[in-house]
Amino acid sequence: MTVDIERYLACEPALLPEVSAARLFQDVRELSTHVRHAGTPEEARAFDYLQAQLEGLGLCVQRYHCDTLISLPVKASLQVVMPLAFEIPCITHSFAVSTPPEGIEAEAVYIGSGNDEEFRSIALAGKVAIVDGLAEPSKVERSERFGNFSQIFVNDDYRHELIVSQVFGSPVPGTVDNLPHSACVSINEFDGKHLKEFLSGFFDAVAVLDVMGHLPDLSRALSELKRVLKPGGLLIGSFFSLQDSTRGIHMREAGAQHIYL
């Protein structure tokens, strides 16, 4: 299809005054009342509305039907099981694969934005990759190329519904193997920051101020602090009594670089 740009630009000044913002908003408001998943009755009702509007303008509308492969996500859950157990709200995506009934349990690893260099720098086989950004088909394909088949995508303030398949339309014998093989979910940015706090080797520095004297199991606490620090990371502790200062010896053994007594 070709477009005569000069003719379009010449017509634009005459067309713009005829555009009704109120009418556009009316159409958007009506269409937004329908959850327009492919092949559903609500999608058909949205089409009925558009057809009526266009035919009211004197246009002829023809509806076509075809058989096609679609994927409608149902539900997803994401649970952190250690060091603390809690659940993070999430959604899954069209053409992401289903997990077994018991789910998938594996170590989570943060890999940044998910470019080739980041995927190549970390052994991801058998792990869950935490990736910044949207669940784009190219990122899912790249993850699988590096042996990873479970991803958590950290979106912005909202969890965005997306299709993670690179196959456009229904697959044919030559493209069916290109359908995704990954189970993946998306979470919002706030929950993503919280999740990253529990990853091994994530923090450059950790400060524990006037807390150690209240912990019943100091060894366990120090082990967890050491786990979340990057190699060579900084562990800073302070104590509010001389009794607690003896615990600084244990903190030194755990890798603390600065201890204030």
State pLDDT tens for residues 76-121.
999 988 767 889 999 999 999 999 999 999 988 899 998 999 988 8
Please give the residue that has the higher pLDDT: either 115 or 239.
Answer: 115
With contact defined as beta carbons under 8 Å apart, do 114 and 129 qualify? yes
Task: Give the C-alpha distances (Å, rounded to integers) separating 211 from 16, 61, 174, 197.
Answer: 66, 71, 61, 19
Percent with pLDDT over 70 in the chain: 87
Sign of the dihedral defined by the CA atoms of residues 54, 56, 59, 60, in that order: positive
CATH architecture of 78-196: 3-Layer(bba) Sandwich (3.50)
Please state, in angstroms and rounded to a whole number, the distance separating the CA atoms of residues 100 and 53. Answer: 46
Residue 258 has pLDDT above 60, yes or no: no
> In the predicted model, what is the mean pLDDT of residues 205-214?
75
Mean pLDDT of 170-175: 89
Residue 261 is predicted with a pLDDT of 42
Q: What is the pLDDT of residue 241?
A: 53
Structure-model confidence comparison of residues 252 and 145, the more confident one: 145
Does 139 have pLDDT greater than 90?
Answer: yes
Once rounded to an integer, what is the mean pLDDT over residues 180-203? 88
Residue 95 phi/psi, 5-degree rounding, is 75, 5
Q: Decide the pairing of beta strands 150-154 and 128-132.
A: parallel
Query: Where does residue 233 rank: exposed (0-12), middle (13-18), buried (19+ CB within 10 A)?
Result: middle
Q: Are 211 and 248 in contact (CB under 8 A)?
A: no
Is the predicted pLDDT of residue 16 greater than 50, yes or no?
Answer: yes
**Average predicted confidence (pLDDT) for the chain:** 85
Query: DSSP letter string over 21-32?
Result: HHHHHHHHHHHT
- Pairwise CA distance, residues 110 & 153, whole Å: 10
142 with 120: CB under 8 angstroms?
Answer: no
What's the pLDDT at 260? 45
